[in-house]
Amino acid sequence: MESEEKEKWLLAGRIGKEIRELGISMCVPGAKVLEIAEAIEKKTVERGAKPSFPPNISINQIAAHYTPKYDDKTELRDGDIVKIDVGASVDGYLSDTAASVAVNENGNKLVNAAKEALDAVVKIIKPGMAIRDISTVIDNTISSSGFSPIVNLGGHGIGRYSLHEGEFISNSKSYSGSFLRKEGVVAVEPFATNGGGYVIDSSEVQIYSLVSNKSVRSALGREISKYVLEEYHELPFAKRWIISKFGKLAEIEIRNLVAIGALHEFNVLKEKDNGLVSQFEHSFLFEDGNVTVTTL
């Protein structure tokens, strides 16, 4: 790996850690999720990066893929389990990291279960290792705390401008015969729940990504897809960002772009039994047999 490339992976990780910690520090009773997301985005840009994806601020039964709406009024309440899942892009070199907190509460067992699972992974992870060995550690740690891992969410390989590629790192014991890459970046993200351990799509969508440059009939639609390609490539973006830039009419245009297959929708994911969900995540850089946790 070129040293310049490595520096960008590391910087993306450092900024990822900073914005994750900023987000967590803002999780107090009465805080508006929109203000938390905007503070994270502002800090990302101030540090010379762009978001890898819109800050996901997912509360209680929502596991992932929630970013605040344009006019979101949601406020945090005592006891809410909040997941802050964020990342920074430095010239397309990405980080992906998450932490959880129970608002106004210390020592929440569900939060600790996912944290301990990620801590256990940090201790054993090696380039090229068997993926099932990571899955086993996550599953055992979460199960021994009396919770369940979410089986259909998991870690993943990361490439330049590519948030999910290659490996899938299951959070539950599996007989996967696959191995981690020896060089490059992966993210590991244990999710714990007091529900059945499975997420389903809800009907709500706040996050999209560009899938192809289809010919778009309307001028506004063309403008939006050109802007998204230039700003975010094929990385996820928020509906809120597009409305801020192009106005309220953009919402209809986004629907049209989805209908012609130009945009992919990330449905908000919720636990199927309405279980509460916690999550922690780090990005790991492998090089010459060594591991660096870029977001630690």
Residue 187 makes contact with Co ion by CB under 5 A: yes
CB of 82 to Co ion, least distance (A): 17
Binding mask 135-174 for Co ion (x = CB under 5 A): ----------------------------------------
Identify whether 96 is a catalytic site residue: yes
Give the span between the Cα atoms of 140 and 145, in whole angstroms. 9
Give the span between the Cα atoms of 256 and 268, in whole angstroms. 20
Nearer to Co ion by Cβ, of 180 and 187: the residue is 187
Give the span between the Cα atoms of 23 and 33, in whole angstroms. 9
Identify whether 282 is a catalytic site residue: no
Write down the residue that tokens 């990066």 correspond to.
Answer: 49
Q: How many CA atoms within 13 Å lie on the side-chain side of 129? A: 20
Identify whether 156 is a catalytic site residue: yes
Nearer to Co ion by Cβ, of 159 and 214: the residue is 159
- Among the listed residues 18, 85, 116, 167, the single catalytic one is 85
Residue 96 makes contact with Co ion by CB under 5 A: yes
CB under 5 A: which stretch of 23-31, 64-72, 144-152, 181-189 binds Co ion? 181-189
Identify whether 281 is a catalytic site residue: yes
Identify whether 165 is a catalytic site residue: no
Strands (DSSP E) found in the chain? 50-51, 56-59, 62-64, 81-86, 88-90, 93-94, 97-102, 148-149, 154-159, 162-170, 184-188, 191-193, 199-210, 237-238, 263-271, 277-279, 282-287, 290-293
CB under 5 A: which stretch of 19-27, 30-38, 51-59, 96-104 binds Co ion? 96-104
- Chain positions contacting Co ion, by CB under 5 A: 96, 187, 189
